[in-house]
A = this chain, B = another copy of it.
Amino acid sequence: MGIVVVGSVALDSVKTPFDSEEEILGGSATFFSVAASYFTQVSIVAVVGDDFPEQHIAFFHRKGIDTSGLHRRPGKTFRWKGEYGYDLNVAKTLETQLNVFAEFVPRIRPEHRKSPLVFLGNIDPDLQRSVLEQMDRPRWVVCDTMNYWIERTRPSLLRTLSMVDILIINDAEVRQLAEEPNLFRAAQKVRTLGPEILVVKRGEYGALMFDGAVLFGIPAFPIEKVVDPTGAGDSFAGGFCGYLAARETADDAALRRAVAYGSVMASFNVSAFGPKRLGDLTYTEIQDRFREFRRYTYFDDLE
């Protein structure tokens, strides 16, 4: 049932021009699973060290997230240290300590193999494929990746992409993956590599979805005060996949709503450090913002 997410659980230290926090809960699987937890059952497959605070495990449990696939290994938890300038779009990585994550080999527990949706977070494409090989025909294979894998492991990444239904990456990654500067041509080229649906994250400028002849685009939900953009893309993917996994069917209307829910979850996430705001939402707050977002972008048809 629900979603299996494979990715990182980390301790982040984040600095913005206005504030900073040290060793807070982070990682792609964290933001993804907290965002998705409002819509469906989520199981995290990840690894942490023996220094990982119990309070974070308790937090996952409070969100109803299954941590039976979150392994604790001797050693230190993955740490990321990053900084943002006044333009909060791009993080500057100051330090990455892989620690126990360097030896991460994802194992899918028997009870998770029949999950209808698997989200392959931004990890080595060899590992992404090893996850797929353990799954029992999921309805949706959704995938993320980044410049690092596009540059260094392209052949392996292409093998993974041939098994993917939905790819969720940012616009620079689309261009780099397709080796094509025009975003629209690049998107169509990426779709020939496997993913039927391509969702393009554009940060403060919103999101695009390419699905056959359908092109859907929305701006970002307007946020007056962005506190920490870390995890925005992962919360977007979590909202998108959570909404999708909770449904029987996924027609065009559902996919468009899924993109809107992704944007909504990302907009909550950036208004506090770590998954603090993302973690204390009510489902009503999410629905209210979805409606507000719809009013924000809505215009009537021709009279």
Chain A residues with CB under 8 Å of chain B are 86, 181-182, 184-185, 205-206, 208, 215-219, 222, 224-225, 253, 256-257, 259-260, 287, 290-291, 294, 296-302
State which of B259, B287, B301 has its C-beta within 8 Å of the C-beta of A299.
Answer: B259
The A interface, classified by DSSP as helix, strand, loop or mixed, is: mixed
Given A182-B224, A185-B224, A224-B182; A218-B302 close (CB under 8 Å):
no
Measured in the bound complex, the distance between the Cα atoms of B259 and A299 in whole Å is 9
**B-chain residues with CB within 8 Å of residue A86 when the two chains form the complex:** 181
**B-chain residues with CB within 8 Å of residue A256 when the two chains form the complex:** 298-300
The reply to whether A301 and B294 form a contact with Cβ atoms under 8 Å apart is yes
Q: Looking at A216, A290, A299, which has the most chain B CB atoms within 10 Å of its CB?
A: A299
The reply to whether B218 and A299 form a contact with Cβ atoms under 8 Å apart is yes
13 chain-A/chain-B pairs, Cβ below 8 angstroms = A182-B224, A205-B219, A216-B297, A216-B299, A217-B219, A217-B297, A218-B219, A218-B297, A219-B219, A253-B300, A256-B298, A291-B302, A294-B299
Measured in the bound complex, the distance between the Cα atoms of B254 and A299 in whole Å is 9
**B-chain residues with CB within 8 Å of residue A218 when the two chains form the complex:** 219, 297, 299
Q: Looking at A86, A219, A257, A294, which has the most chain B CB atoms within 10 Å of its CB?
A: A219
The reply to whether A297 and B297 form a contact with Cβ atoms under 8 Å apart is yes
Which residue of the partner chain B has the closest CB to A184?
A: B224
A146 to chain B, nearest CB (A): 22
A254 to chain B, nearest CB (A): 9
State which of B181, B287, B298 has its C-beta within 8 Å of the C-beta of A302.
Answer: B287
State which of B217, B257, B302 has its C-beta within 8 Å of the C-beta of A300.
Answer: B257
**B-chain residues with CB within 8 Å of residue A287 when the two chains form the complex:** 302
Measured in the bound complex, the distance between the Cα atoms of B298 and A86 in whole Å is 32
Measured in the bound complex, the distance between the Cα atoms of B224 and A218 in whole Å is 17
**B-chain residues with CB within 8 Å of residue A299 when the two chains form the complex:** 216, 218, 253, 256-257, 259-260, 294, 297
**B-chain residues with CB within 8 Å of residue A302 when the two chains form the complex:** 287, 290-291
**B-chain residues with CB within 8 Å of residue A205 when the two chains form the complex:** 205-206, 219
**B-chain residues with CB within 8 Å of residue A259 when the two chains form the complex:** 299
Which residue of the partner chain B has the closest CB to A297?
A: B297
Sample of 10 further A-B pairs with CB below 8 A, known A217-B297, A256-B298, A297-B299: A182-B224, A217-B219, A218-B299, A219-B219, A253-B299, A253-B300, A256-B299, A257-B299, A287-B302, A291-B301
